[in-house]
């Protein structure tokens, strides 16, 4: 059996015929200069998204994200960044034609712990043809998830593969931050064209204090009800409509009184946790 050492591929942009070695994955068309990625025998356009953020700016975005409401109190001040890496991560970019219009779907072309990565938004105008010579010093993560695997994941998530009108490979720039919080390691990605932060897990606010407070509130209001009717009964020991009415009357004030410490504790928890 002989190995084919060279073959011809047709450029998806201009239709020009290019020669390519069997093991080659990247090609710049000798006629129009556009960039092509070869996955097995499939040929797709290869794009790159430019980075607009420095490492310092990306870290600033990460700290602001950490200061947000979903994260544990003072995470932005206490998180200790241990490592930052910058790379261009490969994503399969599918455009589908639906009755509602065009839609973009992304699938990672390499394994990643941050599955949120496929929810990033890439405006079509940000896709630039990839030219190897422009990125000699940069890290490009290899696209090792095959096109067909990405397509089958897409159909598993409910997209009809027959509706795919366009596919390409896109390398998107990311700052990957690793940080320590209370001895635990976490990671987050800052997408370097938009500055958006993506993460799957982070030190979240604990819900336990709120659950305990809720249980305490039920108990306290229950006791306030019982106490109100007990007081009413002590004042007029004969059971009558008036006793019940007076009990209800006292209850209003008992509830207001009970609400004061509960509100104060809730406020304190929000500030502290
Ligand atoms: Zn071409």
> How much is the average pLDDT of 113-134?
87
Using DSSP's 3-state secondary structure scheme, residue 259 falls into helix
Rounded distance from Cα 9 to ligand 1 centre (Å): 10
> How much is the average pLDDT of 40-51?
87
Tokens coding 202: 């982070």
- Which is more confident, 236 or 71? 71
- Is residue 1 predicted with pLDDT exceeding 60? no
d(CA 158, CA 154): 7
pLDDT per residue as tens digits for the range 129-178 = 898 888 888 899 988 888 889 989 888 988 888 888 889 999 999 999 99
Surrounding residues of ion ligand 1, Cβ less than 5 A = 11, 13-14, 16, 29, 31-32
d(CA 116, CA 263): 36
- Is residue 77 predicted with pLDDT exceeding 90? yes
Q: How far is CA 267 from CA 213, 241, 262, in A?
A: 11, 39, 9
Rounded distance from Cα 14 to ligand 1 centre (Å): 4
Q: What is the pLDDT of residue 82?
A: 96
Rounded distance from Cα 251 to ligand 1 centre (Å): 82
- Is residue 185 predicted with pLDDT exceeding 80? yes
pLDDT band at 3 (very low <50, low <70, confident <90, very high): very low
Q: What is the pLDDT of residue 6?
A: 63
d(CA 95, CA 105): 6
Rounded distance from Cα 103 to ligand 1 centre (Å): 26
Q: What is the pLDDT of residue 2?
A: 38
Pair 42, 9: CB distance under 8 Å? no
> How much is the average pLDDT of 221-230?
90
Mean of per-residue pLDDT scores for the chain: 87
d(CA 90, CA 48): 9
Rounded distance from Cα 28 to ligand 1 centre (Å): 8
- Is residue 11 predicted with pLDDT exceeding 80? yes
The answer, as to whether pTM is greater than 0.95, is no
- Is residue 271 predicted with pLDDT exceeding 90? no
């Amino acid at each position: 059996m002989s190995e084919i050492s060279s073959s011809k591929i047709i450029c998806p942009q201009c239709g020009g015929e290019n020669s390519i070695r069997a093991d080659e994955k990247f090609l710049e068309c000798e006629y129009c200069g556009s960039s092509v990625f070869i996955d097995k025998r499939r040929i797709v356009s290869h794009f790159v998204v430019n980075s607009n953020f420095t490492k310092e700016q990306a870290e600033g975005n990460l700290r602001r994200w950490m200061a947000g409401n979903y994260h544990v109190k003072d995470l932005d001040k206490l998180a200790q960044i241990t490592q930052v890496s910058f790379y261009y991560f490969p994503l399969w970019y599918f455009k589908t034609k639906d009755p509602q219009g065009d839609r973009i779907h992304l699938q990672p072309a390499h394994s990643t712990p941050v599955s949120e990565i496929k929810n990033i938004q890439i405006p079509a105008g940000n896709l630039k043809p990839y030219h190897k010579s422009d990125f000699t010093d940069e890290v490009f993560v290899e696209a090792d998830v095959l096109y067909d695997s990405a397509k089958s994941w897409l159909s598993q998530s409910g997209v009809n593969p027959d509706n795919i009108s366009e596919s390409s490979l896109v390398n998107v720039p990311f700052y990957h931050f690793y940080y320590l919080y209370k001895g635990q390691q976490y990671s987050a990605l800052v997408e370097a064209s938009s500055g958006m932060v993506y993460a799957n897990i982070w030190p979240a606010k604990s819900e336990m204090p709120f659950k305990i407070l809720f249980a305490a509130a039920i108990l306290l209001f229950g006791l306030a009800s019982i106490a109100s009717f007990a007081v009413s009964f002590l004042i007029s020991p004969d059971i009558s409509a008036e006793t019940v009415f007076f009990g209800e009357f006292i209850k209003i004030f008992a509830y207001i009184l009970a609400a004061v410490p509960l509100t104060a504790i809730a406020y304190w928890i929000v500030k502290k946790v």
